[in-house]
Every structure is written in structure tokens, then in C-alpha cells.
Amino acid sequence: IIHRILRPEKVVPLIQQLISQEMGKQFIEPPTTKLTEIYEEIENKPSIPFIFVLSPGADPIAELMKLAEVKGFKANVMPLSLGQGQEKVAEDAISYAKKEGKWVVLQNCHLALSWLPALERIIENLQEEELNYDFRLWLTSMPSENFPVSVLQRGIKQTNEPPKGLRQNLLRSYLGMEAKKFEDCTKPHEYKNLLFGLCFFHALVQERKKYGPLGWNIPYEFTQADLAISTSQLKLFIEGYEHIPWKALNYMVAEANYGGRVTDPMDRSCLLYTSPSPRDS
């Protein structure tokens, strides 16, 4: 009570510290699970939809495409962003996919609230004996009061919230990469070191958001897609040059990939100084 009166901003950290000391850290740190592990729950149940509950800064599509590649279904994924005029297209895609064994990904279901009752009826009528064994239905939606309750009860749900803390951010970044990716580069030592720096930079710019205007003057939604394109460019730069082109690497990461969405001049300066500084190699 005294802390709540004198230092209200310290109440949540103190509660977390108390829980960690008395019960263990596992009760305050969200588990980091791979989509491949969750997929095993519906691997033999094509009638059960998988629902991604979206949150700002989280993009599950990249992870879903990696799963499809692992399972050999990347060419059979049918992504569709819902919106005005897409209802009939979505219904036709589901009808075709459940016969041919495709994966249908209906993105942003919260933008088609008027069509959700029809989607609810479609899902209720899915009978496993009538479906192709490889058929899967994936849904993404922001939290909405109008989302059908029966669909939520029937489906497997996953919330992709941005991880909290540098450690959880780094874990999320590394768990989203395949093990063979670390050895594919012709210069594995340099690649691993710079990859860690890149992941740490990504975690740092994410964590600055929790400090409000002290972190960024304008809140920005940096996503895993920014890290993914930066990682690909990092590998190209390392393999394509005898010496690491620090200036080019710094420009592409800080100015283009992450800095492309930064509009405030002070935020841009902060981002440039936070990123790995170019130096002679």
C-alpha cells in the first residue's frame, strides 16, 4: 500500500519480483513455444480451425509460412486478406481447399464482421469424414466482441503478443530461426556474431516502447518482418564481400528496414546511434 501511494509506477515490478521469489520465474515469464509444437494438436484434425489472436507488433504469417515449408505445404497455402468484397472469394477458397487438401489463411477476420456468422456456419458444417486429410483453416483476427464464440470454443487459439524484456525478445528471435541457418553461411563465425548483434538491436528498439516518450517520441510498430529482411541482407553482405561492408549494412538496417517507418528526427538519430556503427574492417 505504501509503495502504491508513494511510487505507483513501481507496483507492477514489485509484484513480479514477489511472485518470482515465492513461486518461481516460470509464473511471470510467458512460455516460448514454436508453432510446430502447437500444430501437432490439430495435425490429425482437419475440421478444427487455428486462430491467431493478433496484437500490435506481432505478425504470425511469417511463422506460418515457415511451418508450411517444413511440412511441405508452402505451395498449397492460400492466403486471403478479408475486407469488402472478399466474402465470396473466401467461401470459394474454403470449398476448393477442403476437397483438394489446401491450407486456407483468412487474415484480418475483424475487418469482415458482417460475414463472420456465415463463416461460423461453414466451420460448424465441417465434417472430418468429408474433408481432405491435408485441409487446414487458419484465421487471424484482432480481439473483437463480435467474433463467433462457437468458433473460438472449437478452434485452437494462439496469442502472438510481443515478448517482454530483452531476454524474451532474443529467445523469440532465435526460436523463429532454423538451426541449419546458422551454418549455411560461408563465414559462420562472422555471421553468428553479427546475427546476435542484429537480434539484440531488434530487442532493444522493441523494449524502448515501454518507456513512452522517453523511449520514442512516436510509438512505432517494429515487427519480425523487419528482423527477417535484415537477417537475409546480413547474409548477402557477408557472403558477397571479402570484408564486411559496415556502412552499407548500417544503412540498410537502420535507415531502410527499421528507419523507413521512423518519422521523428530525434527518433531517427536515436535509431542510428543504437544500431551497429560502421567501422573500417
pLDDT in tens, the chain (281 residues): 676 777 777 788 888 888 888 888 777 776 666 777 778 777 778 888 999 888 766 678 878 888 888 888 888 889 988 887 888 999 999 999 888 888 999 988 888 888 989 999 999 988 888 888 888 999 988 888 888 888 888 888 887 766 777 888 888 888 778 777 777 888 888 888 899 999 999 999 888 888 888 888 988 888 888 888 899 899 998 888 888 888 888 888 888 888 888 889 898 888 887 776 554 44
Point out which residues pair with 107 in neighbouring strands: 81
pLDDT at site 212: 82
Which residues, at least 6 apart from 175, have a Cβ–Cβ distance to it below 8 Å?
Answer: 32, 34
Distance, in Å, from the CA atom of 234 to the CA atom of 246, rounded to the nearest integer, reads: 10
pLDDT at site 280: 42
Which residues, at least 6 apart from 225, have a Cβ–Cβ distance to it below 8 Å?
Answer: 59, 62
User: The whole model's pTM is what?
Assistant: 0.68
At residue 80, φ and ψ (nearest 5 deg) are: -145, 125
Residue 51 burial (CB < 10 Å; 0-12/13-18/19+)?
Answer: buried
**Which among 79, 154, 152, 146 is positioned nearest to 113, based on CA atoms?**
146
C-alpha cell at 281: 574492417
C-alpha cell at 72: 511441405
**Which among 176, 251, 166 is positioned nearest to 202, based on CA atoms?**
166
Distance, in Å, from the CA atom of 255 to the CA atom of 206, rounded to the nearest integer, reads: 16
Q: How wide is the angle at C-alpha 65 spanned by C-alphas 36 and 257, nearest 5°? A: 120
